[in-house]
């Protein structure tokens, strides 16, 4: 049997677009002589559809799309992902399903059993748990079809009570097919391939694994679809961060691809001294770079936007954001605005000017000191002679936010936020000022990762001026200000943040690793008392296993560690 894996970038709720792409994939598979073509999880409607699933019209359009796809299934088997109805009045109204279509008919519908309800996933909110497991017979083969999380219920502490493959093995399948929408983070591809291999070794069957690709708001799907033979060897590995198409003949014995077989990462057992090297390792940074480009491009393309704007301070965060946005959207579509105040150093303006000169993007300089002085004059009767404080610092930041939003509104730009994860974690930012934006590019990268990303961008030529990489970070909102005045140095801060946020280590565990107790308590208090700021923040492109946003849900008024 010849099986085609079709790795495509869908658009949530864009049924005409998704259906046309699926039909094109079927036609390609037919022309290539495939007997069976496999698409990814919920490809008909796009993943994750979230509360769209509560609308009857949305579900009807899914079924209408399936009818259109059925018309192209003459002589070829097609596996697509779409919601399916639950005829039983008990339980949820829908299943997350894989539909097997052939010769204009629905031959089988497979219901997902393991419904992830953690981090960014909330499938139990919408779907009923599948409890009926049947192989699909097709062209003399018995296919064990599962959906994404169905193959992850392994290990010593499984998350779910039922494992679909255990039930399917009783029916003597010949091969496994898994359709997925498995998101990217810089740990996940290795873990994902390890899970596929563990299934292969456990059940002694080959697996054909088809994953989604593309960005859906903050979530990146990296593709990387794979085929493993029954001996645990990867024979096919499809592109990451790109659409792809491959035909695999099940009767041919393939040589293993020239790539090591992954094992589960040991990130959860890193010592503090290993964290920064791990976070900034080249392979991580390369994939983060590509993921962020995909995230920016798809956000703009799928939302119908074309142009971006950002504040260019001459610092590392805005420099990296500008470089990435220029690569993603084209230099001419990204406008940078430097807004110096009386506290801005001349080299900051010079660095911002040099960067835009190198990138050849639209660039403006708007001094804010006259506006700042007018604010102070207006507020003087209320402020009286109280000393300069955070209030005056934040006024400058909010002036900049207002200017950027005014230009964005006037000319149709989307404001890109430049805050990093270290700042967002600790509340080191101004609401309605430098925290403004329509999309956060660096909000899931710690400061040390931002520096590593800058060096990666500069690997072939100096795009970001070296002076930006070497100077001490500063918000420049008061005389001689440095970030280190308010925060621990970043290489130490990022270790604590990573252990707390990504690895969910409590203060006692972190202190036991040799980190100063007072510092740990201070940092964790900053994180937990800043939740109200993050709750008002824009979407953050997710590249880690625990990003701020929908995947990390914390009480704003919680007392824990605050």
Per-residue pLDDT, averaged over 136-163, amounts to 94
Q: Are 190 and 168 in contact (CB under 8 A)?
A: no
Q: What is residue 324's predicted lDDT score, i.e. its pLDDT?
A: 98
Strand partners, 337: 311, 364
| DSSP 8-state code for residue 426 | H
d(CA 454, CA 113): 43
Number of neighbouring beta carbons within 10 Å of residue 266? 9
Per-residue pLDDT, averaged over 439-457, amounts to 98
Query: Which residue of the set 41, 123, 149, 287 is catalytic?
Result: 41
Number of neighbouring beta carbons within 10 Å of residue 332? 12
> pLDDT tens digits, residue range 197-237?
999 999 999 999 999 999 999 999 999 999 999 999 999 99
> pLDDT tens digits, residue range 170-202?
999 999 999 999 999 998 888 999 999 999 999
Q: Which stretch of DSSP H or E encloses residue 468?
A: helix 466-470
- pLDDT of 421 > 70? The answer is yes
Per-residue pLDDT, averaged over 276-295, amounts to 96
Q: What is residue 268's predicted lDDT score, i.e. its pLDDT?
A: 59
Tokens 């059925």 appear where?
Answer: 70
Cα angle for residues 350, 353, 359 (degrees, 5° grid) = 140
Q: What is residue 157's predicted lDDT score, i.e. its pLDDT?
A: 85
d(CA 319, CA 469): 10
Catalytic residue status for 41: yes
Mean pLDDT value across the chain: 95
Catalytic residue status for 210: no
For 67-85, what is the HEC assignment? Answer: HHHHCCCCCCEEEEEEEEE
Please state which of the four CATH numbers 3.40.50.620, 2.40.50.140, 3.30.365.10, 3.40.1350.10 is assigned to the domain occupying 282-483: 3.40.50.620
Catalytic residue status for 148: yes
Q: Are 59 and 48 in contact (CB under 8 A)?
A: no
- pLDDT of 533 > 60? The answer is yes
Question: Sign of dihedral through CA atoms 11, 329, 543, 441?
Answer: negative
- Lowest-pLDDT range of 194-203, 368-377, 472-481: 472-481
The two most distant CA atoms of the chain are separated, in Å, by: 87
Q: What is residue 321's predicted lDDT score, i.e. its pLDDT?
A: 98
- pLDDT of 472 > 70? The answer is yes
Q: What is residue 485's predicted lDDT score, i.e. its pLDDT?
A: 84
d(CA 460, CA 388): 45
Q: Are 456 and 327 in contact (CB under 8 A)?
A: no
Query: Which residue of the set 2, 21, 70, 112 is catalytic?
Result: 112
Q: Where in the chain is the domain with CATH 3.60.110.10?
A: 2-110+178-264
Q: Are 215 and 541 in contact (CB under 8 A)?
A: yes
Q: What is residue 265's predicted lDDT score, i.e. its pLDDT?
A: 45
With bands split at pLDDT 50, 70 and 90, how would you rate the model's confidence at 267? Answer: low
With bands split at pLDDT 50, 70 and 90, how would you rate the model's confidence at 481? Answer: confident
Q: What is residue 476's predicted lDDT score, i.e. its pLDDT?
A: 78
Which carries the bigger pLDDT value, residue 33 or residue 262?
33
Query: Which residue of the set 45, 62, 148, 163 is catalytic?
Result: 148
Alpha carbon 394 to chain centroid distance?
30
Q: What is the DSSP string of 56-119?
A: HHHHHHHHHHHHHHHTT-TTSEEEEEEEEE--SSSS-SEEEEEEEEETTEEEEEEEP-----ST
Q: What is residue 264's predicted lDDT score, i.e. its pLDDT?
A: 42
- pLDDT of 382 > 80? The answer is yes
Number of neighbouring beta carbons within 10 Å of residue 301? 16
Upstream peptide bond of 48 is cis (omega within 30 degrees of 0): yes
d(CA 301, CA 303): 6
User: Which CATH superfamily does the domain covering 2-110+178-264 fall into?
Assistant: Carbon-nitrogen hydrolase (3.60.110.10)
Number of neighbouring beta carbons within 10 Å of residue 517? 11
**Token digits of residue 395:** 């006024």
Please report, rounded to a whole number, the percentage of residues in the chain having pLDDT higher than 90: 91
d(CA 372, CA 383): 14
Lay out the sheet containing 226-228: strands in order across: 136-138, 141-147, 175-180, 207-211, 226-228, 234-237
Nearest in space to 498 (alpha carbons), one of 439, 421, 552, 562: 421
- pLDDT of 262 > 90? The answer is no
Q: Where in the chain is the domain with CATH 3.40.50.620?
A: 282-483
Per-residue pLDDT, averaged over 369-376, amounts to 97
d(CA 222, CA 182): 8
d(CA 339, CA 43): 44
> pLDDT tens digits, residue range 90-146?
999 999 999 999 999 999 999 999 999 999 999 999 999 999 999 999 999 999 999
d(CA 203, CA 163): 12
With bands split at pLDDT 50, 70 and 90, how would you rate the model's confidence at 400? Answer: very high
Per-residue pLDDT, averaged over 30-47, amounts to 98
Q: Which stretch of DSSP H or E encloses residue 325?
A: helix 316-329
d(CA 440, CA 544): 14
Per-residue pLDDT, averaged over 20-33, amounts to 98
């Amino acid at each position: 049997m010849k099986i085609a894996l079709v790795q495509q970038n869908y658009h949530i709720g864009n049924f005409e677009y998704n259906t046309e792409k699926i039909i094109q994939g079927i036609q390609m598979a037919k022309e290539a002589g495939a007997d069976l073509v496999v698409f990814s999880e919920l490809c008909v409607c796009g993943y994750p559809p979230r509360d769209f699933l509560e609308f009857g019209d949305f579900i009807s359009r899914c079924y209408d799309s399936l009818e259109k796809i059925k018309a192209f299934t003459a002589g070829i088997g097609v596996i697509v992902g779409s919601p399916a109805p639950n005829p039983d009045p008990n339980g949820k109204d829908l299943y997350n399903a894989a539909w097997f279509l052939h010769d204009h008919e629905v031959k089988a519908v497979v219901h997902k059993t393991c419904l992830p309800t953690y981090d960014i996933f909330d499938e139990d909110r919408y779907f009923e748990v599948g409890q009926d497991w049947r192989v699909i017979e097709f062209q003399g083969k018995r296919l064990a079809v599962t959906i994404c999380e169905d193959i992850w219920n392994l290990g010593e502490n499984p998350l779910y009570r039922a494992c679909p493959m255990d039930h399917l093995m009783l029916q003597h399948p010949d091969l496994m097919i898994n359709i997925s929408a498995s998101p990217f983070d810089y740990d996940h591809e290795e873990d994902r391939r390890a899970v596929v291999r563990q299934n292969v070794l456990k059940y002694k069957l080959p697996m054909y694994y088809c994953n989604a690709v593309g960005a859906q708001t903050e979530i990146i799907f990296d593709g990387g679809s794979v085929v493993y033979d029954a001996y645990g060897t990867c024979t096919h590995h499809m592109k990451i961060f790109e659409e792809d198409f491959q035909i695999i003949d099940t009767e041919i014995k393939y040589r293993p691809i020239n790539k090591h077989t992954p094992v589960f990462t040991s990130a959860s057992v890193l010592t503090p001294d290993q964290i920064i090297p791990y976070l900034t390792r080249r392979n991580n940074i390369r994939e983060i770079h590509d993921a962020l480009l995909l995230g920016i491009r798809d956000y703009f393309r799928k939302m119908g936007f074309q142009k971006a704007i950002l504040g260019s301070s001459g610092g590392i965060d805005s420099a990296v954001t500008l470089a990435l946005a220029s690569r993603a959207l084209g230099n001419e579509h990204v406008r940078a605005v430097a807004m110096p105040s009386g506290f801005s150093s001349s080299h900051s303006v010079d660095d911002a000017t040099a960067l835009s000169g190198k990138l050849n993007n639209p660039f403006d300089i708007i001094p804010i000191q006259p506006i700042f002085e007018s604010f102070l004059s207006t507020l003087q009767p209320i402020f009286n002679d109280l000393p300069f404080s955070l209030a005056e610092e934040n006024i400058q930041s909010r002036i900049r936010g207002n200017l950027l939003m005014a230009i964005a509104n006037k000319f149709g730009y989307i404001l890109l936020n430049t805050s990093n994860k270290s700042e967002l974690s600790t509340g080191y930012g101004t609401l309605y000022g430098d925290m403004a934006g329509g999309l956060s590019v660096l909000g899931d990268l710690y400061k040390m990762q931002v520096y590593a990303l800058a060096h990666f961008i500069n690997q072939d030529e100096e795009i970001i001026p070296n002076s930006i990489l070497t100077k001490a970070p500063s918000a420049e909102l008061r005389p001689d200000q440095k970030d280190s005045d308010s925060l621990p140095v970043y290489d130490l801060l990022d270790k604590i943040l990573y252990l707390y946020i990504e690895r969910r280590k409590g203060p006692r565990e972190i202190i036991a690793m040799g980190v100063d107790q007072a510092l740990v308590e201070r940092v964790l208090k900053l994180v937990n008392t800043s939740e109200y700021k993050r709750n008002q923040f824009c979407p953050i492109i997710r590249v880690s296993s625990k990003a701020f946003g929908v995947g990390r849900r914390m009480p704003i008024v919680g007392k824990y560690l605050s």
